Structure 1
Amino acid sequence: MVRPEKDADKFRWILTAGWKGLCPRCGKGHMFTSWLKVSRECEVCGLDYRFAAPDDGPAFFSLCIVAFPLTFLLVWIEVTYSPPLWVHVVTSIPVMVLGCLLPLRPIKGWLVASQYVNRAQEAGTSALWDRLHGRAPGKGGGNFDD
Structure 2
Amino acid sequence: MLLRCPACGEGRLFAGFLQVVDHCAVCGTDFTRLNTGDGAAVFIMQISGGISAFLALGLQIAFAPPLWVLLIVAVPLVLALSFGLMRPGKGLMIAIQIGDRDRGASPHV
Q: What band does the TM-score fall into relative to the shorter chain?
A: 0.7 to 0.9
- The aligned runs of 1:50-89 (5 Å cut-off) are 50-89=32-71
CA distance in 2 between partners of 1:98 and 1:24 (Å): 25
Q: Give yes or no for the alignment of 1:92 onto 2:74.
A: yes
31-40 vs 43-52, which deviates more?
Answer: 43-52
How far apart are residue 89 of structure 1 and its match?
3.4
Bigger mean CA offset, 44-53 vs 72-81? 72-81
CA distance in 2, matches of 1:74, 1:24: 36
Aligned residue among 21, 33, 38 for 2:20: 38
Q: How many residues align?
A: 105
Give the CA deviation at 1:79: 4.1
Pairing 1:25–2:3 present:
no
TM-score, reference length from structure 2: 0.83
* Separation (CA, whole Å) in 2 of partners of 1:77 and 1:89: 11
Give structure 1 stretches of 5+ with no counterpart.
Answer: 1-18, 124-146
- Provide the C-alpha distance between the structure 2 equivalents of 1:25 and 1:76, rounded to a whole number of angstroms: 42
Identity among equivalent positions (%) equals 31
Aligned amino acid, residue 97 of structure 2: Q
Aligned to 2:32, the other structure's residue is in SS state: helix
Contact 2:53–2:74, Cα closer than 8 Å, also in 1: no
How far apart, in 2, do the equivalents of 1:73 and 1:21 lie?
29
Runs of 4 or more consecutive aligned structure 1 residues displaced over 6 Å after TM superposition: none
1:118 corresponds to 2:100: yes
| Corresponding letter in the other structure for 1:121 | P
Greater CA radius of gyration, 1 or 2?
1
How much is the aligned-residue C-alpha RMSD, in angstroms? 1.8
In the superposition, the TM-score normalised over structure 1's length comes to: 0.64
